[in-house]
Amino acid sequence: MDEQEVRSRAQLWLTDHFDEHTRNEVQRMLDHDANELKESFYTDLEFGTGGLRGIMGVGTNRVNVYTIGLASLGLAKYVRKNGNQTSPSLAIAHDSRNNSPLFARKAAEIFASQGIKVYLFSALRPTPELSFAVRHLKCDGGVVITASHNPKEYNGYKVYWNDGAQVIPPHDKGIIEEVRQARIEDLDFNSNHELIQLIDKEVDEPYLHAVMNQQLAPEVVKEQHDLKIVYTALHGTGITLIPEVLSRMGFTQVRCVPQQDIPDGNFPTVDSPNPEEREALSRGLEMCREWDADLLLGTDPDTDRVGLAVKNHKGDFVLLNGNQAGSLLVFYHLIKWHEQGRLNGKQFIAKTIVTTELIRRISSDFGTKTYDTLTGFKYIAGLIADLEGKEEFITGGEESYGYLIGDFVRDKDAVCSAALFCEMAAWARSKGQTLFDVLMHIYKSFGHFQEDLVSITKKGISGKEEIAAMMTRLRSETPRELDGSPVILARDYQKGEERNLVTGHVTPIELPASNVLQFETANGSVVTARPSGTEPKIKFYFSVREPITEQFEYDASLEKLTGRIQRLKEVWSS
């Protein structure tokens, strides 16, 4: 799009359909800031299969009340056609980000203008509670205003259908089409406010009750009630429910990081509110050392992901990655389900294609199936829905610190996960162990797996083109060797096929098409290339493993695997 086209698009935002602040900001960019004008108006902010996410500001390529309004108008029209025809309803929640309450209210007003009943949380709430609310209130769908763990400049709009899961086909495509047809002049923020009902405790209580029902060993928690737990909400929504659920479980020694208790969209104490990053949990780790705590929990702003730190064999606190924490969660559940006589071959575990294969080895040992899905929790939720009434979901998750326990929520749930991690730690302590000890037992029993990733951001207009070129090159030039071992399998999830490079045999992949490439070597190493669907970045996932040995020694094995991953990262990030 050339400069004149961008200016023409921007000038449309000088009409009376827009508020005075917006008009003034557009005029400022037209007069003084050509670069910002281009980035703000060169395209429409893409409403993807999960909704919107982007930088907040004025313009068609920014998150603001008008782009939120258009998304809401499109969703409302789709619901009117495909939802409850007599009394359609939607639920809305928001996180602690700047403008999140405003965007949530504006979305509610648009829905109400279309004759849709709205259940709007009166204050910030975790994303999993919105998923629960959709199901509990029997809504046609829902929205969460959040940008997850992105920097403070971002916000977003996640859409859920009536099963409490983020939308998948055919609803995602149908909603996108309606959003594309929505017009600014049709936005009405001022009618039918009587259709908006504020909610809080009437959903909080049944949700917390459902979380409590997921406990597997409440008697152990009672015995180990003085387990020392440090929790940080990272200025997000977790502070509303996680301390409460831990208290109800019976834990008496829970301390929150006071500087990070306060919801704040500027995230003043962290560079990024991402529990995957050590810096974000540094204050919590400091409190753990001072108090000699047993474990640390940290959740992202919308509380769908949780990070975990435990003491290692040297007494030092270490952060577990998402694959390690997920493997512990699966192992604990299968042990307890086995002890309770609940496994009969009709249960399953779910994970994504970039999540550790260690989970499959664990579940196989218990005679339990593991299913793979594409990356994104909506696919795990879709799998649960497909198998409902035939097979029972136990637990599962993805490497990016997102886990689900039971099926009363249909999205990753850091509230319930945090509760079960604490119960796991109490169970290990009752046996004179730590969660790190349990992890070492898993490695000795099933093999030592190590995973990591490289995320490369390509900003601006040219970013998407560069990422597309990377994927095109990888498709045409399949690597022949990785990690000193020949590549034997190449999976193209866009084409839906797995090629055996040794025999030439091609096997269909029974998953929806997705722009993902995966390469597996003879020694079990796996490299996956996956462009983000919501951000201008591409991620490369690496997995290496060591076989089971009687002489397993963690430090030596870790050093070896870390070296192998580092060599892979150097090649793939260059």
| 408 phi-psi bin (left φ>0, alpha ψ -120 to 50, beta other) | alpha
- Told to judge if 131 belongs to the known catalytic residues of this protein, a careful annotator would answer no
Alpha helices in 228-295 (DSSP H): 242-249, 282-291
8 Å CB contact between 240 and 124: yes
What is the DSSP-derived secondary structure letter of residue 458? -
- Mapped onto helix, strand or coil, the DSSP state of residue 521 is strand
Of the candidates 327, 333, 338, 324, the residue with the CA atom closest to the CA atom of residue 367:
338
Residues near 468 by beta carbon (within 8 Å), at least 6 away in sequence: 531
Contact 178, 80 (CB under 8 A): no
Interior angle at CA 491, CA 489 and CA 492, nearest 5: 150
Let me know: does 539 contact 509? Beta carbons within 8 Å: no
Are the beta carbons of 94 and 129 closer than 8 angstroms? no
For residue 330, what are the β-bridge partners? none
Among 191, 186, 143, CA closest to 164: 143
CB 493, CB 374: distance < 8 Å: yes
Q: Are strands 229-232 and 254-256 parallel, antiparallel or unpaired?
A: parallel
Show the tokens assigned to 491: 């999976």
Tokens in use for 345?
Answer: 């071959």
> Can you tell me whether residue 120 is helix, strand or coil?
strand
> Residue 318: beta bridge partners?
310
Instruction: Determine how β-strand 51-55 pairs with β-strand 154-161.
Output: antiparallel
Query: Which residues make Cβ contacts (< 8 Å) with residue 559, sequence separation at least 6?
Result: none
The one-letter amino acid at 209 = H
d(CA 534, CA 336): 38
The Cβ-side half-sphere exposure at 287, using a 13 Å CA radius, reads 21
- Angle, CA of 255, 257 and 258, to the nearest 5°: 105
| Secondary structure string (H, E, C) spanning 472-496 | HHHHHCCCCEECCEEEEEEEECCCC
Phi then psi dihedrals of residue 276, to 5 deg: -75, -20
CB-based contacts of 252, cutoff 8 Å, min separation 6: 225, 226
Spatial distance between the Cα atoms of 305 and 287, rounded to a whole number of angstroms: 21
- DSSP alpha helices (H): ranges in 340-434? 358-365, 377-387, 414-430
Distance CA 145, CA 139 (A): 17
Q: Which is the catalytic residue, given 148, 417, 514, 543?
A: 148
Active site residues: 148
